[in-house]
């Protein structure tokens, strides 16, 4: 097997057929053996049945169906676990990442690059809020992490089999795969492209899911939030000390305060706020440690077609 294409799917019944047609046309042009691995991430529509029909029609199409929704990053991980190609290509089913770009990635791979990631130079059909938040996140993440992460690069990429094998050793639960791939190193390069509008349907990445992915990325690759918690404690403590001096002045030289009340409230509000913020940050990191220590499997497969 030369190429394995990994396609995570969640409620994409309106687009799967077109995704298959475009991927097939692209990969057929390479004239080498390939496989299309669809990972159904607990879809509630007919996505799974459509993929099963494709499996019956085309032996190159494979299916992994989860017992429930485990998440986009986990679906990609399942595809990596079961792929057998020399080069593995990750692409979403919504056709925002054009399948034709895969041929450029293959060209770079044949030149000797082991990771070829797609870098977006434009985003069609996305609102100002989405574009702004994406730009802020990528720059914030790059500044917080200790590693060189490419800007505007999602999960759309080609990775060599040796990179995939190294990636399989990472079994952490709160996964940020594009960060892990950058962390691994190897010889990497980019292919620039313009991200298209969705072919059909609605985005499955809600604001809450995007925020979770962003927080997973930051906590997986940086401990700076913990350091910022300490800095915040020092800062607010300093401000509170200044405020206490003001309260003391008012108590001694004016009649604008109730004796003892202002200073007590100021101290309580100040330190309670500091403690809650720091505990919240610690709790996020501690919760992730707890998830890892349970050592549960990343995913549960309910159905599989064309794969061992």
Residue-wise pLDDT tens digits, 33-45: 999 999 999 888 9
Distance set, CA 115 to CA 83, 108, 164, 256 (Å): 16, 9, 10, 67
Spatial contact of 29 and 104, defined as CB atoms under 8 Å apart? no
Spatial contact of 119 and 191, defined as CB atoms under 8 Å apart? yes
SS3 91: coil
Q: Give the C-alpha separation, 74 to 177, whole Å.
A: 9
Spatial contact of 280 and 41, defined as CB atoms under 8 Å apart? no
75-134 pLDDT per residue, tens: 999 999 999 999 999 999 888 889 999 999 999 999 999 999 888 887 665 667 666 666
| DSSP summary character for residue 159 | E
SS3 305: strand
Tell me the backbone φ, ψ of residue 196, rounded to 5 degrees: -85, 170
Structure confidence at residue 32 (pLDDT):
92
Distance of alpha carbon 202 from the chain centroid: 18
| DSSP summary character for residue 149 | P
Instruction: Look up the pTM and report it.
Output: 0.70
Structure confidence at residue 208 (pLDDT):
65
Angle between helical axes of 261-294 and 207-221 (0-180°, round to 10) = 80
In DSSP terms, 188 is beta-bridged to 115
DSSP per residue over 9-63, as a string? ESS-TTTHHHHHHHHHHHHHTTTS-EEEEEEE-S-SSSHHHHHHHHHHH-TTEEE
What counts of helices (H) and strands (E) characterise the chain? 10, 8
**Residue ranges of the chain with pLDDT lower than 50?**
none
Distance of alpha carbon 114 from the chain centroid: 21
Structure confidence at residue 297 (pLDDT):
84
């Amino acid at each position: 097997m030369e190429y394995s294409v990994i396609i995570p799917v969640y409620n994409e019944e309106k687009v799967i057929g077109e995704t298959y047609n475009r991927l097939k046309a692209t990969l057929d042009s390479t004239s080498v053996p390939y496989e299309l691995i669809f990972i159904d991430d607990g879809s509630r529509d007919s996505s799974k049945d459509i993929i099963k029909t494709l499996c019956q029609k085309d032996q190159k199409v494979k299916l992994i169906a989860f017992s429930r929704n485990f998440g986009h990053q986990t679906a990609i991980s399942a595809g990596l676990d079961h792929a057998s190609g020399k080069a593995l290509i990750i692409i979403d089913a919504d056709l925002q990442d054009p399948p034709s770009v895969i041929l450029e990635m293959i060209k770079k791979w044949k030149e000797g690059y082991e990771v070829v990631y797609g870098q977006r130079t434009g985003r069609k059909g996305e609102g100002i809020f989405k574009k702004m938040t994406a730009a802020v996140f990528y720059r914030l993440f790059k500044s917080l992490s200790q590693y060189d992460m490419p800007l505007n690069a999602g999960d759309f990429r080609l990775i060599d089999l040796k990179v995939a094998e190294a990636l399989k050793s990472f079994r952490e639960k709160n996964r940020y795969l594009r960060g892990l791939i950058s962390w691994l190193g190897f010889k990497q390069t980019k292919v620039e492209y313009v991200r298209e509008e969705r072919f059909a349907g609605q985005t499955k990445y809600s604001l809450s899911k995007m925020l979770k992915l962003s927080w997973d990325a930051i906590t997986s690759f940086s401990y700076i939030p913990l350091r910022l918690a300490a800095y915040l404690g020092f800062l607010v403590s300093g401000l509170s000390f200044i405020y206490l001096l003001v309260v003391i002045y008012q108590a001694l030289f004016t009649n604008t305060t109730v004796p003892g009340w202002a200073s007590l409230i100021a101290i309580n509000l100040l330190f309670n706020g500091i403690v809650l913020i720091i505990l919240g940050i610690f709790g996020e990191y501690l919760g992730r440690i707890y998830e890892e220590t349970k050592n549960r499997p990343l995913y549960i497969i309910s159905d599989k077609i064309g794969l061992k």
